[in-house]
């Protein structure tokens, strides 16, 4: 029951000549107070939903619900959120859902810095409810001190002025992925990928984004691989947190050129490490990201993705563009086909 504040009760003691005005103010303030109380209790966050609880039987095929569990020989799929955000976007949800569907016998591990360590309950958000329907998805806190311990990046991370660098969060993400690959192995994906096929046969591999550079938005390596060790060493020895990409795509490109004794990047495999052709995981070049929002026919979609395992959405460039749902836009069709539960949620808004 909502109680009337004390200051409202005092209004009733004003002289009779002000009775009408007092009554108006009393009603107005009481209604406003009641509205604010109700609003704050129901709509604490605009991304929360009254329908946060997802019907798993409706959202997830039964074949996934009866999966026997991860095979010991099957590598994990990792996603990382290095900011404090705990309100996943539709694209974030789609990335994890599509990975879970295409890797039903792998653990899909989502590491989030914003989650309190030791807290067994996730924040109330529709995406967490949806992703909890997948038995192979695990959402865990990201403990950076523990992750970097025992690696060349330990003291880099502990330097007190690190957080003041202009690109700290992207650089932190770059650091996490190479350490995860070196310590645990498996598959790393950025949270702006839509996964089309199982990636487990792409081992000790990374993708070419264009004729000049590799990209680390997708990585797949065995644990303790020498290439990842070199990446960690280069991260510290040639560190420059003030230059965009220097610790990410540029680092991987530098190390791969040395690893293979190359002057220019090309699709190749040497010393057990493969640089995959752009169409494998970067079929849409970052310069052409607007194509994601253009209509394509079913045949065009099939031909475009024939040799593709995953599609990078280039969220840094595309996040401000409105996507019509439903539509024949390439991105809308990817949502509908590869993360149907997330797509169903999108259609409700």
- Is residue 40 very low, low, confident or very high in pLDDT (cuts 50, 70, 90)? very low
Integer-rounded Cα Rg, in Å, for the chain is 25
In the chain, % of residues over pLDDT 90 = 74
Residue 348 has pLDDT above 80, yes or no: yes
pLDDT tens-place string over residues 292-328: 999 999 999 999 999 999 999 999 999 999 999 999 9
Residue 34 lies in a domain: no
Cα–Cα dist 273/205, whole Å? 6
Ranges 21-25, 96-100, 228-232: which has the least confidence? 21-25
Q: How many residues does the chain have?
A: 349
The mean pLDDT value of the chain amounts to 85
Residue 2 lies in a domain: no
Average pLDDT over residues 74-88: 95
Residue 120 has pLDDT above 80, yes or no: no
Number of folded domains that form the chain: 1
Q: Domain of 266: which CATH number?
A: 3.90.550.20
Residue 41 lies in a domain: no
Residue 179 has pLDDT above 70, yes or no: yes
Residue 235 lies in a domain: yes
- Of the chain, the end-to-end C-alpha distance in Å amounts to 32
Cα–Cα dist 54/341, whole Å? 9
Q: Pick the more confident residue, 2 or 168.
A: 168
Cα–Cα dist 206/213, whole Å? 11
Domain range for residue 200?
Answer: 74-279
Q: What is the pLDDT of residue 116?
A: 84
Residue 226 lies in a domain: yes
Residue 104 lies in a domain: yes
Residue 122 lies in a domain: yes
Q: What is the pLDDT of residue 246?
A: 96
Average pLDDT over residues 186-202: 97
Ranges 12-21, 43-52, 100-109: which has the least confidence? 43-52
Where is 193: in which H helix or E strand? Answer: strand 193-195
Average pLDDT over residues 317-346: 96
Where is 79: in which H helix or E strand? Answer: strand 77-81
The token pair that represents 290 in the structure block: 């607007």
């Amino acid at each position: 029951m909502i109680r009337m504040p004390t200051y409202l009760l005092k209004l009733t003691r004003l002289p009779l000549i002000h009775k009408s005005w007092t009554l108006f103010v009393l009603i107005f303030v009481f209604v406003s107070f009641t509205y604010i109380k109700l609003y704050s209790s129901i709509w604490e966050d605009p991304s929360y939903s009254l329908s946060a609880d997802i019907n798993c039987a409706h959202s997830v095929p039964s074949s996934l619900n009866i999966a026997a569990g991860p095979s010991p020989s099957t590598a994990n799929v990792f996603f990382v959120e290095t900011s404090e955000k705990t309100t996943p976007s539709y694209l974030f949800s789609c990335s994890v859902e599509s990975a879970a569907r295409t890797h039903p016998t792998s653990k899909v591990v989502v590491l989030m810095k914003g989650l309190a360590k030791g807290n067994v309950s996730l924040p109330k958000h529709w995406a967490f409810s949806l992703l909890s329907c997948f038995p192979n998805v695990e959402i865990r806190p990201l403990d950076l001190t523990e992750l970097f311990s025992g690696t060349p990046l330990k003291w880099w991370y502990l330097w007190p002025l690190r957080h003041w660098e202009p690109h700290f969060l992207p650089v932190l993400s770059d650091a996490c992925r190479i350490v995860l690959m070196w310590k645990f192995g498996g598959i790393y994906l950025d949270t702006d990928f839509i996964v089309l096929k199982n990636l487990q046969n792409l081992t000790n591999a990374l993708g070419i984004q264009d004729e000049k550079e590799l990209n680390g938005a997708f990585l797949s390596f065995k644990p303790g691989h020498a290439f990842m060790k070199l990446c960690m060493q280069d991260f510290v020895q040639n560190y420059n947190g003030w230059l965009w990409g220097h610790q990410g795509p540029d680092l991987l490109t530098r190390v791969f050129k040395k690893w293979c004794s190359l002057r220019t990047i090309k699709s190749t495999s040497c010393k057990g490490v493969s640089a995959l052709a752009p169409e494998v995981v970067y079929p849409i070049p970052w310069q052409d990201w607007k194509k994601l929002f253009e209509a394509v026919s079913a045949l065009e979609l099939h031909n475009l993705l024939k040799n593709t395992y995953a599609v990078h959405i280039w969220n840094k460039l595309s996040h401000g563009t409105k996507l019509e749902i439903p539509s024949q836009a390439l991105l809308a069709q990817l949502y509908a086909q590869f993360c149907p539960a997330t797509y169903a949620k999108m259609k409700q808004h």
